[in-house]
Amino acid sequence: MHYLIYKPFGMLSQFSKEGDKATLGDLSFAFERDVYPVGRLDADSEGLLLLTNDKSINHRLLDPRFAHERTYYVQVDGAITDEALQQLAEGVTITVDGKPHHTLPAIARRLNEPDLPPRNPPIRFRANIPTTWISLTLTEGKNRQVRKMTAAVGFPTLRLVRWAIGHLTAEGLAPADIRTLLESDITQLLTTNGSATARLPLRPRKRR
C-alpha cells in the first residue's frame, strides 16, 4: 500500500511517540502496521510525505543518483536577490554531519504568494520587514537542507512546505489529508525523475 499525506506543521514524520509531539499515529486513519514514511519532514516543516510498505521504494526515491525531484515552497526572511537565487541554483556549501557539503544544482525561482493552507501557528507578521516566497526543486535530501541553503545565502527560512514529490503535488490537500496512491503513481515516480512544473490535482481520501 502507498499513501500520500499532507503532514501538518508540528507533527513528527514517524509513528512512534516522542515526548508530547504529534506523530503520524495521531492521524485519523487506520494505516497497515508495516507502513512507514519514505524520507522525512522536520516537525517545523509541512507538506507532502509518502508512506509505503514496499521497502524497495525507499532507495529509488531517496538516492540522488536517480535525480528524483522534490519541490519546496519556501517563505524566506527578506527580499531575496537574483544573486542569492543564482547561488541556490548553482549549489551552496552547507554543513552535513559536521562536514562541508556542496549541494547539487537546483531549480530556484521567485513565487507570488502561493495558495497554501494557513499554518497553525501562523508566521509572525512584521510590518517593516519584507518576506519572499521561492520555489526550490532539489534532487537530494540532506538533513534540514533547504533551511541551511537559504541561510547560507543570507535569507533564513520562515515557512517550509514540500509542495511536490515528482509529478505529485499538494494541490487540493489540507493538513492531515490522506490520499491512497495507485500503482501507476508509484511506477511513474520510479521510472522518471518527475517534473518541476507538473501540477497533478490530488483528491483527498476521506478518513475512516
Residues noted as catalytic: 42
In angstroms, rounded to a whole number, what is the distance separating the alpha carbons of residues 67 and 139? 5
- For residue 4 the three cell numbers come to 500520500
3-state percent breakdown (helix, strand, coil) of the chain, nearest 5: 20, 30, 50
Q: Report how many helices (DSSP H) and strands (DSSP E) the chain contains, helices first.
A: 4, 11
In angstroms, rounded to a whole number, what is the distance separating the alpha carbons of residues 156 and 28? 33
From residue 78, alpha-carbon distances to 97, 133, 153 in Å are: 28, 10, 11
Asked whether 77 and 160 are in contact (CB, 8 A), the reply is no
In angstroms, rounded to a whole number, what is the distance separating the alpha carbons of residues 193 and 165? 10
Report which of 38, 41, 103 is spatially closest to residue 72, judged by C-alpha positions. Answer: 41
Angle at 135 between CA 50 and CA 191, to 5 degrees: 45
